[in-house]
Amino acid sequence: MFSHEEIKKRVAEYAADYVEAGMTIGIGTGSTVYWLLQELGKRVQQGLHFKAVPTSRQTQTLATELGISLVDLNNVDQLVLTLDGADEVAPGLQLIKGGGGALLQEKIVAAASRQLIILADESKMVNVLGRFPLPVEVIPFGWKQVQKKIIQQLGCQLVELREKNGETFVSDHGHYILDCHFSQITDTPELNEAIHNIPGVVETGLFPNMADIAVVGYADGRITTTTSTLP
């Protein structure tokens, strides 16, 4: 049986095979993506040439250290694919992302890609989204008004302002994040739209109908690929 960290590493090594010479890709953020970057860094040293758009300062820093060539998204017409992790993956490849706080850039990069490939271990697979609190990125001005509306208008049980090391967490773009405990999210596109309609919301961690493939690792060593059923 493989440990949690070993599963992530194996999934990352498997998913690295999607990256081919000459591609311009997006690279996400998170613990599984850490291992992906390590593997891609090795392949760069072995002669693989590609360019990547990072989704966070964290990814940008590590990719640079590993010799991966980076490019600004504004200088790219379209990305061939994006490789990223997720906090929850439900049937139909509906996602919750943003546990690391990079949801805004992750969604922008995913939307600029022909394919979004999600790397996950079996613990991230759920029957319905909502066990993991839904991150919602908001501007600092009036964040309590957004918090109140998510509770009163959308029936959320608890909305917490994210903190890190005893201080309010601030995203790469200077925003706050509200972690919303919905318990169950049965209609991802509808909730995503409803939250976006609240003034002050920048982005949500819901990725409705955006993922194309999920590469999932299991403790017994299996790695499976699931493809979205959307046309």
Name the burial class of residue 3, with classes exposed (0-12), middle (13-18) and buried (19+) by CB atoms within 10 angstroms of its CB.
exposed
Beta-strand relationship, 176-181 and 134-138: antiparallel
* 106 a catalytic residue: yes
pLDDT of residue 231: 53
Q: b/e per residue, 61-84, with b = 16+ CB within 10 A?
A: ebbeeeebeeeeeeebeebbbbbb
pLDDT of residue 118: 98
Rounded to an integer, the average pLDDT of 171-182 is 97
Q: Where are the domains of the chain?
A: 4-127+209-227, 134-205
Q: What does the pLDDT look like over 33-61, one tens digit per residue? A: 999 999 999 999 999 999 999 999 999 99
The active-site residue out of 6, 13, 88, 106 is 106
The answer on whether 187 is annotated among ligand-binding residues is no
The answer on whether 107 is annotated among ligand-binding residues is no
CATH numeric code, 134-205: 3.30.70.260
In which band, very low, low, confident or very high, does the pLDDT at 230 lie, cut at 50, 70 and 90?
Answer: low
- Residue 66 pLDDT more than 80? yes
In which band, very low, low, confident or very high, does the pLDDT at 228 lie, cut at 50, 70 and 90?
Answer: confident
Mean pLDDT of the chain: 96
> Could you tell me the fold of the domain covering 4-127+209-227?
Rossmann fold (3.40.50)
Q: What does the pLDDT look like over 134-144, one tens digit per residue? A: 999 999 999 99
The answer on whether 30 is annotated among ligand-binding residues is yes
pLDDT of residue 216: 97
The answer on whether 22 is annotated among ligand-binding residues is no
Q: What are 102's two structure tokens?
A: 């990079």
